[in-house]
Amino acid sequence: MGLKGRVEIRPLTSIKGGMAEFYTPQSSNETMLVSIPAGMIDDLFVHHFQTDQLLVVRGSFVLVVLQNREYQYIPLSDRHPTVVTIPPGIPHAAIHLGSEPCFLVNAVLRHGDAHPKDYRPMKPPMPFDFVKARAALAELEYPIGIAS
């Protein structure tokens, strides 16, 4: 198996039509609405033949991805329409320390049948850094230089 792809983060573009704003949907083989319960800290897991395309539609959470033996903490919020694409073979998890559930759409791209080890919890190589996770989310909601 060759090199794994990289996680991509991109803001969604939109077209204004009157008072409504229209965002481009993501092409997919299957679209799921996912609920992340309040206070949840997910285990790392991986997909072998699936690409996830995540977009938060209500609330916020921190996506944790493991690449190059380091965690990347990616804050996602309904206030900042952003799609995160996670290719096959990238371990990832969710940290949601808020008090309300978070909802996201996953526009899944299938590259083959599910692997028997898909969705199975993985032993993390190191503990999550909750200070970094909270800071990433706070920076998204209240960027440095903007008064709250």
The domain ranges of the chain are: 8-141
Cα distance between residue 78 and residue 26, in whole Å: 16
pLDDT in tens, 49-70: 999 999 999 999 999 999 989 9
Say which amino acid occupies 11.
Answer: P
Give the confidence band of 1 by pLDDT, cuts at 50, 70, 90: very low
Q: Which two tokens stand for residue 147?
A: 């008064």
Domain 8-141 homologous superfamily, CATH: Jelly Rolls (2.60.120.10)
129, 73 contact by CB (below 8 A) = yes
pLDDT in tens, 73-113: 999 999 999 999 999 999 999 999 999 999 999 999 999 99
Q: Which of 23-32, 42-51, 61-70, 126-135 has the lowest mean pLDDT?
A: 23-32
- Mean of pLDDT values over 3-15: 85
Cα distance between residue 26 and residue 108, in whole Å: 9
